[in-house]
Structure formats: structure tokens, C-alpha cells
Amino acid sequence: MTEIAGRTALVTGGGSGIGMGLAKELARQGAKVAVADIMPDNAEKVVAAIRESGGKAMAVECDVCERASIAAMKDKVTAELGPVHLLFANAGASSFDPLVEMSDDDVDWILQVNLHGVMNTTRAFLPDMIAAREGHVCATASMAGLLPGWIPVHAPYSAAKAGIIGLMMNLALELAQHNVFTTSYCPGGVATGMKDNNARYRPARFGGPGETELHVGEASENAKSMAFYTPDAIAPMVLDAVRNNRAFVFDHPEHR
Ligand code: NAD
């Protein structure tokens, strides 16, 4: 079993959507929570809500596309909350454009934020978990990575999410000897702003933020129509899978 109460948890992309739901539920279950996000104001709002409910949390800015940003974030979190036991590598963004119509920058960004972001964040925190002989990495993949093609016109995103599943499964074998566990969480449709936000998170080196309206913590009608769950409903299910060291958790009702 993986303990949650009293442990230090880090959620990347914790300023909105699924990450926000996970951060609040982790705090509710007694973890100390670091909320990391490329949008620090949103992370601060989540932390304020957790503190109002009596939980312990800190906000920290981080771009998971940049190793230096992850390293600086790790130093701040470890100094304030101690070594991280539970890593939720959740930050991500999607693109629904046909591959041939995507710019090189957008292809690179989708792979960086979804796959390299998880890889780099995981690599940064594993040494402490191995040294402590305690840890769990839960990466947010997608049904688009488990069943590539179930949403058409999603190629680099599907490739990145399938990569996360491969990464987590291999790590499960590599890390068992160290008492460190992994879970791939594969959302099917959670009511968040993701589909509307997309390019708003694009870092400067991939072309900078787009102009679309930002949905933080609240899904648009479009997103709600495609969703099966809310972040608040899904978070206890994900934490239950982590507690029980399950390798996968899905939230698509047709694939349970
Ligand atoms: P969201 O847009 O509400 O949240 C994404 C969060 O990630 C935001 O807070 C954003 O600021 C942050 N972020 C983006 N780029 C970042 C970067 N470079 N560094 C750090 N933080 C960054 O969307 P969501 O639906 O909550 O998405 C969370 C995860 O769930 C993503 O990995 C996404 O691919 C995955 N997912 C979501 C669904 C769904 O239906 N909502 C389905 C499958 C997978």
C-alpha cells in the first residue's frame, strides 16, 4: 500500500482541471501538497483554497518543458515540504489539428509538454524516492495513449501519451526493487478547460501563448458535452489506485 496521509505530494499542472482536483483531494486525505504550474497565479488560487480548508500546501512556478525549471521547483518544494513521496506528473496540453497542418513548433511542444515533461519530472524526483525506499509516480496519460486512434486527429498527443504508459510500465519493473511504484492514469473525458485552453500554455520557445479564452477550473459547455467525470469525482478514484499500487486507472466507462 502507498501511504497518502502525512506524505509530501507534488502535482504538476495543479493549477487547473484534473491537477487541481488531485491537489485538493490529496490535501483532504492529509498529504502536504506542492502545486506546480506554468501559470503561478492559478497554482496560488488552488493553494489558497486548500489552506482555507485547513490543508498544508505551497504553490510553485514550473515549466515542465525545461529541466532547469524542474530543478529549481524541486529545490523550493524540498526546502519547504521535505522530499517528495508522491509525484503526480500531470501537466499536459492537447492538440486536435491534423498532423500535416501542425507547425513544427506545435509538434515539438505537444511532445515536450506531454512526454518529455513527465520524463524529466520523474527523473528529477526518483533519486530521493529510491534513497528513501518509498515513492509513487502517477503520470496522467490518456485513453488516447492506451487506445491510440479512439479520438481521431490527435497523432502527436496520442504518441506522447502512449509513451507515458510505456515509461511508467518499464519503471514499474525497474523500481520495484526500490519499493517505488508507478501508475498510469488514463482519462477518457474529464470536464476541464483542456480542449479550450490548449495554446494558452504554449511557452515562448514554441511560439508563445495563443489568444483563446482561458478556462481555469471550469469546463466550457463544449468540454462538458464530451466528458464522463468532473475532476472532483475522479480524484478519489485515482488516489485509490495509487494507494493500492495499481499500474493503471481508466475513467472511460466503456473500457472498465
Ligand atoms: P487543464 O487545461 O485544465 O490543466 C492543465 C494544467 O497544466 C494547467 O494548469 C496548465 O497551466 C498546466 N500546464 C500546461 N503546460 C505546462 C507546462 N509546460 N508546465 C507546467 N504546467 C503546465 O487540463 P486537464 O484536462 O486538467 O489536463 C490535465 C492532464 O490530463 C493533461 O496531461 C491532459 O493531457 C490529461 N488528460 C485530460 C483529459 C480530459 O478529458 N480532460 C483526457 C485525457 C488526458
List, for residues 224-244, the tens digit of each pLDDT value: 766 778 899 899 999 999 999
* Nearest alpha carbon, ligand 1 atom 32: 92
The upper half-sphere exposure of residue 255, i.e. CA atoms within 13 Å in the direction of its Cβ, equals 16
Distance CA 16, CA 121 (A): 18
CA of 50 to the centre of ligand 1 (A): 19
| pTM check: above 0.90 | yes
Give the tens place of pLDDT for each residue, 74-115: 999 999 999 999 999 999 998 878 899 999 999 999 999 999
Instruction: Return the ligand 1 atom nearest residue 42 CA.
Output: 9
CA 33-187-165 angle, 5° bins: 85
140 in contact with ligand 1, CB cutoff 6 A: yes
CA dihedral angle for residue 99, residue 105, residue 108, residue 110, rounded to 10 degrees: -70
To the query of whether residue 157 is one of the catalytic residues in this protein, the response is: yes
Neighbouring C-beta atoms of residue 116, cutoff 10 Å: 17
Q: Where are the alpha helices (DSSP H) in 39-103?
A: 40-52, 67-81
